[in-house]
């Protein structure tokens, strides 16, 4: 497609590819601008459900005017093409940003505040997103946020779902309890639950449940079990922020925030109570550090303990001076101030202890807190007018790293409670077998600043291999007949073979006469040898549920490709790789088979709707 045109829009490059289609970067033929074009997957052109969902995504976007929601320019709906022309957003997803940078909790709050602003405007226009997650939020270089992918949206004003019944709406990890139960009950408060779950993931570096467990267990976690409070995984979060997250993740929608603007007000109170400071270098204090699973832990307040970051990064806390040094908090941020500056540092308040159920021992940090308390006592005994020193404590994980302060070797970590002159200080830690870590801090008179560095092992160097040709390398078990863009490739029984291809998106189809057909669209970059594994013998878990047209639960027998499985819904079944038709049969009812392509783990449950005869 590169270099070709769609209704005059010249395709420049592939930006993303998913189940519903491919997103291209393209040149507008009429205006001097670059746009994004989402083109419908041709494999779905005969599926009326997906066709309608694709069209209604464009309508949903057109109904909302917000600086925090991607703008739709045009819907191309012709016999040859079905595409949405949208604003081109040059940014990273919030998920990628969190993986590549160590986000302070305050910066995370400001980013999520913009998400809430965009959702507030969508909700006021009668649109519920239903698939809010970090990967559906793009962040520009200036930290402006854009919400994308309204393909699962629901219009309250239109009186019907933009996602047709017959499949679950949402991404499993971020689905609200009402999304798991009945689609008809989903309203704006479901989006706020998904925002809370996204918030939890970004601030804690993980979800409140184990993502490696089965889909069935995750569904039970969402619907039945209490989540651990956020400070169980990140004890540096302010109590008010922990409470905000807990409220947004309540099982009952009536117990959550009732609107996005109500949640914004609560978030503004937290940000107002904890104003950020500015790094004198004009960049984030932890910009050069690897991401930590505990996001946003730069602090100038007194937490009772510091959690050990499991991967590379550093955590900073400070024990504050007496009240005479404190300044009143500034006013709450207005709606026009939602874009944060990259130089913002985090200032969480004291963190309350977690409940007994979730409390866990923390190592190597109680000493830091005792040192801070001792520093406060000593300071109180100083003669009036006597200048106060700043104190610095440094811990590394693992310990034993050599510590350099302003270029001077100062000992081995842990290095606890030594006095320094107030002002900027540069800290570097070095340990054999690990990547060096360094950062700069501003020490304040009377403060005890504790810094924790999580060291990352030096990656194993591998020899540089020559650039491979552009190719698809297929491994097929047991074997199959291969078609590339509807052209036969290889012999009758291909098991392991590499096929030279042109860069771009290629339709790959593999057929076994007895085991079925495997089909996907795969994007190959120039010079890439893209491995593709097709395992007809492997079976993947899929959760199948069923409901009435009104949304109530109905049990029925599961059929796959017209063959009874002997299982009744709800049930987790195992399916071979390939295309399958899933039905649920019950006397007195009919259903439309759900077409499902199984090419790997299926994270979303399949919901089949039964119609009374």
Catalytic residue list: 131
How far is the C-alpha of 206 from the C-alpha of 308, rounded, in Å?
14
CA neighbor of 129 nearest in space, from 113, 149, 158, 159 = 149
H/E stretch holding 611 reads strand 606-612
Displacement of CA 20 from its chain's centroid (Å): 20
10 Å Cβ neighbour count for 33?
10
CA 52, distance to chain mean position in Å, is: 27
Sort strands 539-548 and 606-612 into parallel, antiparallel or unpaired: parallel
- Per DSSP, the residues of 86-137 read EE---SEEHHHHHHHS---HHHHHHHHHHHHHHHHHHHHTTEE-S---GGGE
Contact 140, 90 (CB under 8 A): yes
SS3 168: coil
Residue in the structure block whose two tokens are 């904890």: 274
Measured at the CA of 479, the angle between CA 474 and CA 483, to 5 degrees, comes to: 55
Name which of 246, 233, 203 is nearest 109 in CA terms: 203
Pairing of strands 9-17, 21-27: antiparallel
- 3-state SS assignment for residue 613: coil
Q: Tokens for 459?
A: 């990656």
Whose tokens are 């070797």? That residue is 409
β-pairing, 390-397 vs 448-454, is parallel
User: Cβ of 419: how many Cβ atoms within 10 Å?
Assistant: 12
**Residue 157 · residue 128 · CB < 8 Å:** no
For strand 504-512 and strand 471-484, is the pairing parallel, antiparallel, or unpaired?
Answer: antiparallel
Angstrom distances, CA of residue 231 to CA of 57, 114, 352 = 37, 23, 8
Alpha-carbon distance 604 to 273, whole Å? 40
> What six digits make up the tokens of 538?
């492997």
Give the DSSP per-residue string, 272-324. HHS---B-TTSS-TTTTSPP-SS---B-SS--S--PPPSSSEEEEEEE---GG
Report d(CA 231, CA 352) in Å as an integer: 8
Q: Where are the alpha helices (DSSP H) in 224-321?
A: 239-248, 260-273
């Amino acid at each position: 497609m590169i270099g070709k045109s769609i209704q005059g829009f010249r395709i420049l490059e592939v930006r993303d590819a998913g189940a519903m289609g491919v997103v291209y970067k393209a040149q507008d033929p009429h205006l001097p601008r670059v746009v994004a074009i989402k083109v419908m997957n041709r494999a779905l052109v005969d599926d009326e459900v997906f066709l309608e969902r694709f069209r209604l995504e464009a309508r949903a976007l057109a109904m909302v005017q917000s600086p925090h929601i991607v703008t739709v320019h045009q819907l191309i709906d012709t016999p040859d093409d079905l595409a949405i022309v949208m604003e081109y957003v040059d940014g990273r997803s919030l998920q990628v940003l969190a993986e590549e940078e160590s986000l302070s909790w305050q910066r995370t709050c400001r980013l999520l505040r913009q998400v809430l602003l965009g959702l507030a405007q969508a909700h006021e226009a009668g649109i519920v997103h239903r698939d809010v997650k970090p990967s559906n939020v793009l962040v520009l270089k200036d930290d402006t946020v854009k919400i994308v992918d309204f393909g699962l949206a629901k219009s309250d004003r239109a009186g019907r779902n933009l996602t047709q019944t017959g499949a679950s709406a949402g991404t499993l990890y971020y689905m609200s309890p009402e999304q798991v139960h009945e689609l008809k009950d989903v309203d704006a408060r479901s989006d706020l639950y998904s925002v809370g779950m996204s918030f939890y993931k970004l601030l804690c570096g993980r979800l409140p449940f184990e993502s490696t467990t089965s889909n069935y267990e995750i569904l039970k976690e969402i619907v039945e079990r209490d989540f651990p409070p956020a400070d169980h995984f990140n004890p540096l979060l302010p109590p008010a922020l922990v409470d905000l997250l807990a409220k947004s993740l309540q099982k009952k929608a009536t117990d959550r925030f009732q609107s996005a603007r109500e949640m914004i007000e609560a978030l503004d109170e937290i940000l107002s109570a904890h104003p950020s400071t500015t790094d004198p270098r004009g960049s984030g204090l932890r910009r050069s550090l690897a991401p930590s699973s505990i996001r946003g832990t730069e602090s100038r307040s007194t937490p009772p303990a510091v959690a050990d970051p499991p991967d590379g990064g550093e955590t900073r806390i400070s024990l504050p001076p007496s009240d005479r040094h404190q300044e009143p908090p500034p006013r709450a941020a207005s709606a026009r101030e939602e874009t944060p500056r990259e130089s913002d540092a985090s200032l969480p308040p004291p963190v309350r202890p977690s409940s007994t159920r979730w409390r866990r021992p923390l190592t190597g940090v109680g000493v830091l807190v005792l040192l801070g308390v001792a520093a406060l006592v000593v300071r109180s005994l100083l003669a009036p007018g006597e200048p106060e020193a700043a104190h610095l404590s440094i811990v590394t994980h693992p310990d034993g790293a050599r510590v350099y302060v302003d270029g001077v070797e100062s000992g081995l970590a842990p290095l606890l409670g030594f006095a320094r002159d107030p002002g900027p200080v540069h800290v570097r830690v070095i340990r054999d077998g690990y990547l060096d870590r360094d950062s700069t801090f501003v020490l304040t008179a009377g403060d005890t600043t504790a810094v924790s560095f999580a060291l990352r092992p030096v990656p194993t160097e591998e020899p540089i291999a020559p650039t491979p040709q552009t190719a698809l390398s297929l491994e097929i078990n047991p074997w199959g007949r291969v078609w590339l863009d509807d052209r036969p490739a290889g012999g009758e029984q291909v098991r392991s073979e590499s096929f030279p291809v042109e860069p771009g998106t290629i339709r790959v189809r593999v057929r076994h006469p007895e085991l079925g057909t495997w089909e996907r669209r795969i994007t190959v970059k120039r010079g890439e040898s893209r491995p593709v594994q097709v395992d007809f013998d492997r079976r993947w878990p899929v959760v199948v549920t069923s409901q009435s047209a009104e949304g109530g639960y109905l049990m029925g027998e599961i059929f796959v490709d017209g063959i009874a499985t002997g299982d009744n819904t709800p049930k987790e079944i195992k399916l071979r790789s390939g295309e399958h038709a899933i039905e649920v049969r019950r006397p007195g009812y009919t259903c439309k088979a759900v077409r499902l392509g199984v090419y790997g783990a299926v994270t979303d449950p399949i919901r089949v709707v039964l119609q009374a005869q």
